[in-house]
Each structure stands twice: as C-alpha cells, then as structure tokens.
C-alpha cells in the first residue's frame, strides 16, 4: 500500500502553530518520523489558519524537503496553492486534488503532465459528492479519459471515491467498495485508488478500529493507496497483513518486520 | 499497424554483490567478480539493465570424491588428490570463473577432517588460483560451526562468498562473515517464505542485505527443477517489485544435483536405451543450468568441463545485446 502520511496538516494544532511561528522543528520532526513509519508520500496541507496560504504552502514544502527526500503530496483544493507547492518542491509530487469536472481537469491535468506529477482526482463534480456507485464510476471514467487525452498515463492517477463518516452515511462504504472494483477496470494499467481514510471514523468513538477495518476491506476491493496516520501501528500492521493475504508480498514469519526494514 | 510496446519498467533491481578482493583491496585475487544488478527479467535487455553476466563456479572438494560417476571423475581424476592442483586445472583448462571449495571431507560421515585440515585445503586453493572463492560447508551444523570460523579467518581480506546459513543455524557463520568481511549464502529448503525469513534473521544480526546471496536449494532436471524454477522466478519478480528481502543474487548447485540423477550416473551397460553416459551426464548438467539461467540465477556451481563450456556459450549468446528494430 502506498501510505500517504497525513500529519503535516494545518488542521493539527502543532502544525498550525509551527506555520504561525515559522518554526520548522515540528514539521521536520513529523516529516522524519512519518518517513520512518513507512510513509511513501508526505501530505502537505496548510489548513485554514494561515492568511497567505500560498506562502504557507511554499514554506511547508521547503521545510519538509530539507529533512527528507520522501515525495510530497501537495494537498489543497485551491489551484494557486497547489501551484505554489508544486513550484517549491524539488522532486515530482502528488497533486492532491482535483475534482472530476472538466473545468478543473483542464487546469490540473496539464499541470501534472508539465511537472511530471501524479494526480489525485475526487469522484465528485459540480453535482457534489455522489451517493451511488454508478455516478462515482462515471466521474472516474471522465477523469481517466481526460488524462489519457492529455497524455497523463492512468498509472499516474489516484482516483479517490470519497469516503464519508460512518455515523452520517452508513450506507456509503459498501457502495464505495463496489465502485473501487469497477474503477480498477477502467483502464490497463489501472489508475491507483486512494482514500482519505480517517474520514470514515470522523467524530466516532473507536476511530482506529474503524479505520483499519475499512482499510483492509478496501485493500481487498482494489485500493492501493491511502492518506493515513502512519503512526497508527495497528493500522499499518493491518495493511501489511492484508497485502500478505492478497499475495502482494511474500510471506515470512517476520513479515511485519520485513515490511519495515 | 504499429505494435504497441509491451515493455515492463522496473524501479527496483537485484543487489550487486562483489566477490573477491585484489591486492589493492586487501586481498590476493587477480580480479573480482560482480553478480546481480538486473533491473529486468533474465536477459530482457530491451526492458532494462540485465545486470552482471551469470558466472560459473566449479566445485573443488577437500577430499577425493568417493562416488562420482566415471564420466565425471574422468575429467578431474588426475588433479583431485590436491585441491590446489584441482582448482588450477578448473580455472586454467576448464575456464571456471570462480572456484567453490566444498568441504565435504569435514563432514563427520565423510572423513571428519579437522578445521585445520580445512584451512590447509582452502589455503592451497587460494594460493593456486587468482579467481574469487566460494567456500561451502559440509552441511553438518555442529561441525560447520567449528570449521567455518577458522576457514573464514584464514581467508580474511579475500572477500569470499561463504555458505551456508539456514533458519536453524545462522548465528555463527553470520557473525564470522561480519568479522572477516565475507559475503554470505542464505539457504532455504525450496521454500520462499523461509528464504525471506532467513534474510530477516541474518540482517537482524547486523549483516548487510547487500552482501547476501540466496540459495533456494537446487533440484536437477527431472528431480524437482520446476519447483526451483518457479521459486527463483518469484524471487526475481519480488526483487523487481521492490521487496528488499528478496533482492539478492541467486546461486544454484547444478553440479552436485545433476550428477546425482539416475540418468547421469547409471553406466552404459545398465541403461543401453538411454545412450552413452558420457553424453547423458553432461547433458543433464547443461540443461539443468540453462533452464535455471532463465529463472534468474547469477552463480552456477558446476562440475563437468563440457557442461561448463556449453553453458558459458549459452550465457554468451543470451548476453549478446538483442537486435533492436
């Protein structure tokens, strides 16, 4: 599983404070520790606190890449903030994210092509977040087709079918799993499938268990990437175990340690 | 209509392991040998780097072989009473890239030679030839753990490839290889899960992954070759997919296994319908080796000079750059 570490996000108090005080310490500490914990990308999100979000994004990117070479995931829905992050990054990034509507794809896909980046696309458009399987797959198909036309290989796309909190939309996870299976068949090579995992347990009481249970189910349905708390050891253990059971990596008695070596 | 490309691109590679050390590097070898480095399935040079050329190590024993079939014995008999002389013949006459000293004579059931006698044998080989050396223990855990530390020490600086360690017996030889800077052969009994586990255990002791060569245990043609083939193929695929615990070059024991086959060792008079033994045996060894080359093996342990010659020709052909249109 491609683990995208979620912790460098202005929604968290420590990161918010670090941005406000221009203190690189906490950000670099998170960058290093998430990398050690297995993050393949580090998500960078300025949150809502900073007045100048573009400047804050640039700063976070610069600070993070001073410590580690881990690729960054530039997380914003605002195109200008994304551009600021992409420009500041020295290595190719994951752009996180565009929606599936053509007006946005017109901007985001060429940017990804130009910057040799990968791109997260949410299965939502001007109609909002779909509640059914078909509309999710339809939007994903629009994204894949658009990417192919503009020269972005589907293997560089991460389709996010948008998971909602279990306590407000309990009928959704099952539909998302079904959508994942269908999205995997849209192209060969297939696009990646990603979720912002922690959303599933938003405002619930047993968050970690919900997160990892859904993650395992999603991995079986074709998910291969997730924005996660890589410090949640049980979650990461569950993901590593799921990949063993799906025969994606070779079993050994110490497979958990092997995956972390 | 233009055919679309079906090239697979891999981001990971098999580790490169260097065997041997020249005088400049603190050893006495005339040259070093590198194995591994492939970024593609075997020999598919249109997809990526094929890595280093597979090499042939010829077996030299520390005792006169007791049970070698005549067709094999005939090629070595005039030299096999002295490991140094024998090794020299393998290198100079038969073109061995490396010498694998198999310490059969130290086995409690085959002479129970002392560690000192083993040291004497490897020293003779070291002084007789300039190629890099492999030293392979007899396969009796208790005895191996007495013999190998002495042998390792005697070869310190030569950057040898020493083996074997297994899931049940890895601590002594791993520690010794760390101390004397040798490379290590990790053995598993045709079981890819155990193979991975041995690598984990060995690296837990601080041994670098980049100095391990894997031995999946070889089966000859007609005697389990397909099991070895598929395991080695799976190992290469895992290596290319980024599994760090599977990115080691591979070694196969083709000589011993092939000449154990009934078809290789049965004399002419007992099996007239199989044709002359002199051809059967070398064919058995050649075919086993050639098949295993396709599964990704990097070091072939072999015995018969004719088989060695044929296999080296095949390696040359497979290694020649493919014609690109």
Q: What ipTM score was computed for the predicted complex, to two decimals?
A: 0.86
Distance CA B118, CA B255 (A): 21
Q: Do B238 and A250 touch (CB under 8 A)?
A: yes
Q: Identify the closest residue of chain B to A251 by CA–CA distance.
A: B193
Assess A254–B contact: CB distance below 8 Å, yes or no. yes
What per-residue confidence (pLDDT) applies to B322?
63
Assess A258–B contact: CB distance below 8 Å, yes or no. yes
Q: Do A250 and B197 touch (CB under 8 A)?
A: no
pLDDT in tens, B126-172: 999 999 999 999 999 999 999 999 999 999 999 999 999 999 999 99
Q: Do A252 and B193 touch (CB under 8 A)?
A: yes
Average pLDDT over residues B24-29: 96
Q: In this model, does residue B4 exceed pLDDT 90?
A: no
What per-residue confidence (pLDDT) applies to B169?
97
How many of the other CB atoms lie within 10 Å of CB of A165?
Answer: 16
Q: In this model, does residue B6 exceed pLDDT 90?
A: no
Q: Using a pLDDT cut of 70, give the percent of chain B over it.
A: 98
What per-residue confidence (pLDDT) applies to A132?
96
Interface test with A, best of B8, B203, B245 (most A CBs within 10 A): B245
- Band the pLDDT of B186: cuts 50, 70, 90: very high
- Band the pLDDT of B10: cuts 50, 70, 90: confident
- Band the pLDDT of B325: cuts 50, 70, 90: very low
Assess B231–A contact: CB distance below 8 Å, yes or no. no
Q: How many CA atoms lie within 13 A of A113 on its CB side?
A: 15
Single pTM value for the model: 0.91
- Band the pLDDT of B323: cuts 50, 70, 90: low
Q: Do A258 and B200 touch (CB under 8 A)?
A: yes
Q: Do B234 and A250 touch (CB under 8 A)?
A: yes
How many cross-chain Cβ pairs, A to B, lie less than 8 Å apart?
Answer: 35
Q: Which two tokens stand for residue B66?
A: 């007791």
pLDDT in tens, B203-215: 999 999 999 999 9
3-state secondary structure chain B: CCCCCCCCCCCCCCCEEEECCEHHHCCCECCCEEEECCCCCCCCCCCCCCCCCCEEEEEEECCCCCCCCHHHHHHHCCCCCCHHHHHHHHHHCCCCCEEEEECHHHCCCCCCCCHHHHHHHHHHHHHHCCCCEEEECCCCHHHHHHHHHHHHHHCCCCCCEEEEEECCECHHHHHHHHHHCCEEEEECCCCHHHHHHHHHHHHHCCCCHHHEEEECCCCCCCCCHHHHHHHHHHHHHHHHCCCHHHCCCEEEEHHHHHCCCHHHHCCHHHCHHHCCHHHHHHHHHHHHHHHHHHHCCCEEEECCHHHHHHHHHHHHHHHCCCCCC
Interface of A with B in 39-78 (CB under 8 A): none
Residues of chain A with pLDDT under 50: none
Q: Which two tokens stand for residue A163?
A: 């998971």
pLDDT in tens, A71-106: 999 999 999 999 999 999 999 999 999 999 999 999
């Amino acid at each position: 599983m491609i683990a995208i570490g979620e912790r460098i996000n202005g929604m968290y108090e420590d990161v918010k404070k670090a941005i406000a005080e221009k203190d690189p310490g906490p950000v670099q500490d998170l960058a290093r520790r998430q990398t050690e914990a297995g993050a393949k990308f580090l998500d960078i999100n300025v949150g809502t606190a900073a007045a100048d979000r573009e400047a804050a994004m640039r700063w976070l990117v610069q600070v993070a890449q001073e410590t580690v070479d881990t690729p960054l995931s530039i997380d914003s829905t605002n195109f200008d903030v994304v551009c600021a992050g992409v420009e500041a990054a020295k290595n190719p990034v994951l752009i996180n994210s565009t929606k599936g509507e053509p007006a946005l794809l017109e901007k985001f896909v060429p940017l990804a092509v130009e910057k040799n980046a990968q791109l997260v696309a949410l299965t939502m458009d001007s109609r909002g977040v779909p509640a059914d399987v078909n509309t999710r797959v339809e939007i994903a198909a629009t994204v894949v087709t658009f990417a192919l036309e503009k020269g972005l290989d589907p293997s560089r796309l991460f389709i996010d079918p948008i998971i909602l909190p279990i306590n407000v939309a309990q009928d959704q996870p099952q539909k998302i799993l079904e959508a994942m299976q269908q999205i995997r068949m849209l192209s060969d090579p297939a696009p990646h499938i990603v979720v912002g995992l922690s959303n599933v347990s938003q405002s619930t009481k047993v968050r970690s268990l919900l997160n990892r249970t859904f993650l395992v189910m999603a991995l079986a349905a074709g998910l291969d990437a997730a924005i996660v708390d890589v410090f949640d050891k049980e979650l990461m253990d569950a993901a590593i175990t799921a990949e063993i059971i799906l025969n994606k990596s070779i079993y050994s008695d110490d497979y958990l340690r092997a995956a972390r070596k | 209509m233009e055919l679309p490309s079906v090239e697979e691109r891999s981001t990971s590679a098999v580790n490169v392991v260097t065997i041997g050390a020249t005088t400049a590097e603190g050893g006495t070898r005339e040259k070093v040998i590198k194995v591994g480095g492939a970024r593609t399935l075997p020999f598919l040079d249109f997809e990526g780097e094929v890595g280093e050329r597979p090499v042939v190590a010829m077996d030299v024993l520390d005792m006169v072989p007791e049970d070698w079939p005549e067709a094999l014995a005939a090629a070595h008999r005039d030299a096999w009473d002295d490991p140094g002389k024998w090794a020299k013949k393998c290198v100079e006459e038969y073109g061995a890239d490396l010498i694998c000293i198999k310490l059969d004579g130290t086995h409690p059931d085959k002479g129970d030679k002392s560690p000192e006698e083993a040291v004497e044998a490897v020293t003779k080989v070291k002084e007789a030839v300039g190629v890099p050396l492999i030293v392979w223990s007899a396969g009796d855990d208790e005895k191996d753990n007495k013999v190998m530390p002495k042998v390792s020490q005697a070869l310190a600086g030569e950057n040898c490839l020493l083996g074997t360690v297994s899931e049940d017996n890895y601590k002594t030889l791993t520690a010794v290889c760390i101390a004397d800077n040798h490379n290590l052969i990790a053995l598993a009994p045709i079981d890819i899960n155990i193979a991975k586990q041995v690598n984990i255990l060995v690296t837990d002791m601080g041994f670098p992954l980049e100095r391990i060569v894997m031995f999946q245990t070889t089966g000859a043609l007609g005697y389990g070759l397909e099991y070895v083939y598929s395991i080695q193929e799976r190992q290469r695929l895992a290596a290319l997919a980024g599994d760090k615990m599977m990115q080691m070059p591979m070694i196969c024991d083709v000589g011993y296994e092939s000449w154990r086959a009934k078809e290789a060792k049965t004399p002419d008079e007992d099996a007239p319908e199989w044709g002359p033994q002199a051809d059967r045996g070398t064919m058995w060894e050649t075919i086993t080796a050639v098949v295993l080359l396709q599964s990704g093996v990097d070091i072939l342990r072999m015995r018969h000079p004719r088989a060695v010659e044929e296999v080296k020709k095949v390696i040359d052909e497979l290694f020649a750059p493919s014609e690109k249109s």
